[in-house]
Each structure stands twice: as structure tokens, then as C-alpha cells.
């Protein structure tokens, strides 16, 4: 019971920065619009604040209750004007071209295609760096072993347990005992990276990088490459392309190739959407529940904070669940690629027998 009250108080502190920020913005809008019209309603301001909080940006501001640190302009550390550092232009003025309304969701991609090569890190990249730093610290603390090589200490046993789980229950279970161990390092890297990135976003003041579409796309592209390499490595280049046409009559092979080819991309697409949607939706719902405090009135805290506390507990579970699912599906796809080799060899033996 004492732990539950502690968590409720923690959720109240999480809500405070948003409440304070909204109050500050409301005053600012009132001053700005003064005699020129009514300021935005609280619901609109709340929506804008939440969308800004979950969206990637070049500016990172670490906020805690009663502590408002200055914003860190991450990108400007690597060049503030076009042509500086990692802020390049293929042609003059490319970075100042306005982005159309329909392209705002993927503004970075469209700017890159139009000649503005803004390769500077954003707050999602900064969050991944921080998550990797935490991961490196945990692995460093978990290196302790006794004279027999047995893990010693909390961190060492925790890391060992998770590694054995990834190896035995994910890699070997879905790829096979022979090949599973070879892909365990990659699968363990994916599992720990996604898990630490997810949990970092649950700490007040930090950002969830896996709630950014570009991050999950990058993870899925790497998995796609690993899956195809596993298939080519197992069945050979000829056998890999042969499976795309399937064991069907000649007249059906073009259709079969189209279906199999599209199937290569639907798998990583499912990966990126699942991770992105779950992490983004959870954080948005959490903030919308907390926003009732200042959209309705302070009395709404009696309802919103307990609801947000329950959702936060669920998010703690979802964070590791999504890391597990992403790693499991990755292992499953790699296992399907490895299975191509066994299928190809079996067909070869059947032909030789006949």
C-alpha cells in the first residue's frame, strides 16, 4: 500500500510540469492576443503541448517539478546555418523551402529529397545515446564474476538471466539450436536496446525514441537486412531467389514472385508499426488523462491521477513486452530465412533420389 501511494505521488509530480507549462503558455497567449481576439482554449493548448512532447524535434528541454532547465538545441551543436557541419544543402535555399501541409508528418524526409541534408541529431537521437549510456553502465556493473565464472551481484545475475532468456527462449526456440546461437548477439542487442529506450521514455523529463517513426523504421530495416542475409547464407543466392517463385506451375510463377516479394516487406513493416504505435499511443493517452487536471479543473486530479497511475503501471509492462515481441518476431523472420536452406537441401535430395 505504501508503494502504491508513492507511485501516485510520483504521477502527480509528472503532471506538474505539464500543468505549469500550460499555465505559462496560456498567459503568453493572452498577452499576445490581448485586444486582437480570444486566446486558444485549454483543450487546444493541451493537444498542442502533448503533440509537441511526443514529436521529435531539434530542441530538447529537460523538465522536472519546480525545475525548469534551459532548452538544449541539440542540432545547433552540429551546425546552426545551412552549409555548417552536418547541415548541408545540395542547392542554395533548399533548407528554407516551406514544407506542404500534407508533408509535415515526414518533413525531414521531404526536405532531404528536396536537397536539404539536415543530418544533425535530434532529441530522439540524444535519447538513444542516453539509453545506450545507461545500457553500457548496467553491462559494466554486470560484468562481476566469481572465480568459477558464476555471475555475482544483482546486475550480473539480471543481465545473465535476460541473456539466457534471449538465447534459449527466443533465438534457439525460433531459429534452431545449430544456428540460434550465431544470431543471439544481434537479438540480445535488439532486445536490450529497445527495452532501455522504452524505459528511458517512462522517466519524467526524458523522451521515448521508439515513439518516433524514423527510429522504428531504422530498426526494421536492419532486421530486414539480417533476415535476407540469413536466407542467402542458408540457401545460397540461387536457392534464395528460387524460393521467391515457389513450387508452382510455370504460368503461376510471376504471380507467386509478386506475392513473395511483397511479403518480404510486409514483415518489417509490421515490426515498425507495432513498436511505434504502442509506444506513441501509450504516452499520448497518459498525457491526455493528466491534461484533464487543467482542461477541466484541479478537482479532476482525483480521477485522472489514479487512472494515469494504472496506465503507467501498464506502460512499465508494455515497455519490456514490446522489446520481447520485437525480438521474438525478428528471430521468427530470421528462422524462416534459415529454414530456406533446409527446404532447398531437402528438394535437392528428392531430385537426386528420383
CA 99/CA 106 separation, integer angstroms: 9
pLDDT score for 36: 46
pLDDT score for 225: 93
pLDDT score for 64: 53
pLDDT score for 98: 79
Dihedral, 196, 21, 70, 14 alpha carbons, nearest 10: -30
Name residue 145's beta-bridge partners.
151
Q: In which residue ranges of the chain is pLDDT below 50?
A: 1-38, 65-66, 345, 348-354
CA 318/CA 274 separation, integer angstroms: 12
Q: What pTM does this model have? A: 0.78
pLDDT score for 155: 83
pLDDT score for 178: 84
The average confidence (pLDDT) of the chain is 77
The angle that helices 213-245 and 253-295 make with each other, rounded to 10 degrees, is 160
Counting every residue written for the chain, the total comes to 354
CA 332/CA 312 separation, integer angstroms: 30
Q: Which residues of 98-107 are buried (b: 16+ CB within 10 A; e: fewer)?
A: eeeeeeeeee
pLDDT score for 165: 94
Residues 6+ apart with CB under 8 A from 129: 121
pLDDT tens string 119-157? 778 888 888 999 999 999 988 888 888 777 778 888 888
User: What residue segments make up the domains of the chain, in order of their start?
Assistant: 78-120, 124-353
User: What would the grid cell of residue 241 be?
Assistant: 531467389
Residues 6+ apart with CB under 8 A from 79: 85, 86, 87, 120
User: What would the grid cell of residue 60 be?
Assistant: 530538447
Amino acid at each position: 500500500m505504501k508503494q502504491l501511494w508513492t507511485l501516485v505521488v510520483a504521477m502527480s509530480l509528472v503532471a506538474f510540469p505539464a500543468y505549469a507549462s500550460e499555465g505559462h503558455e496560456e498567459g503568453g497567449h493572452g498577452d499576445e492576443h490581448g485586444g486582437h481576439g480570444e486566446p486558444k482554449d485549454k483543450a487546444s493548448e493541451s493537444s498542442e503541448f502533448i503533440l509537441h512532447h511526443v514529436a521529435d524535434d531539434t530542441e530538447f528541454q529537460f523538465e522536472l517539478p519546480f525545475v525548469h532547465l534551459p532548452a538544449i538545441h541539440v542540432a545547433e551543436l552540429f551546425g546552426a546555418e545551412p552549409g555548417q557541419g552536418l547541415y548541408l544543402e545540395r542547392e542554395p535555399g533548399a533548407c528554407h523551402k516551406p514544407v506542404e501541409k500534407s508533408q509535415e508528418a515526414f518533413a525531414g524526409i521531404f526536405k532531404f529529397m528536396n536537397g536539404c541534408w539536415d543530418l544533425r541529431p535530434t532529441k530522439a537521437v540524444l535519447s538513444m545515446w542516453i539509453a545506450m549510456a545507461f545500457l553500457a553502465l548496467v553491462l559494466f556493473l554486470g560484468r562481476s564474476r566469481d572465480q568459477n565464472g558464476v555471475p555475482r551481484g544483482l546486475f550480473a545475475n539480471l543481465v545473465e538471466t535476460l541473456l539466457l532468456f534471449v538465447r534459449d527462449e527466443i533465438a534457439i526456440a525460433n531459429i534452431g539450436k545449430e544456428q540460434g546461437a550465431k544470431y543471439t548477439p544481434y537479438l540480445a542487442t535488439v532486445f536490450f536496446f529497445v527495452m532501455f529506450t522504452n524505459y528511458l521514455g517512462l522517466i519524467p523529463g526524458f523522451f521515448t525514441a521508439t515513439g518516433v517513426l524514423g527510429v522504428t523504421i531504422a530498426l526494421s530495416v536492419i532486421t530486414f537486412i539480417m533476415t535476407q542475409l540469413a536466407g542467402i547464407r542458408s540457401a545460397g543466392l540461387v536457392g534464395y531467389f528460387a524460393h521467391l517463385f515457389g513450387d508452382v506451375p510455370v504460368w503461376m510463377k510471376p504471380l507467386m514472385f509478386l506475392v513473395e516479394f511483397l511479403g518480404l516487406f510486409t514483415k518489417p513493416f509490421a515490426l515498425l508499426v507495432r513498436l511505434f504505435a504502442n509506444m506513441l499511443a501509450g504516452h499520448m493517452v497518459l498525457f491526455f488523462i493528466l491534461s484533464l487536471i487543467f482542461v477541466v479543473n484541479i478537482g479532476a486530479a482525483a480521477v485522472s491521477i489514479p487512472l494515469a497511475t494504472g496506465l503507467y503501471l501498464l506502460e512499465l509492462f508494455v515497455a519490456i513486452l514490446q522489446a520481447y515481441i520485437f525480438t521474438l518476431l525478428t528471430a521468427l523472420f530470421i528462422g524462416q530465412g534459415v529454414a530456406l536452406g533446409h527446404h532447398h537441401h531437402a528438394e535437392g535430395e528428392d531430385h537426386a533420389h528420383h
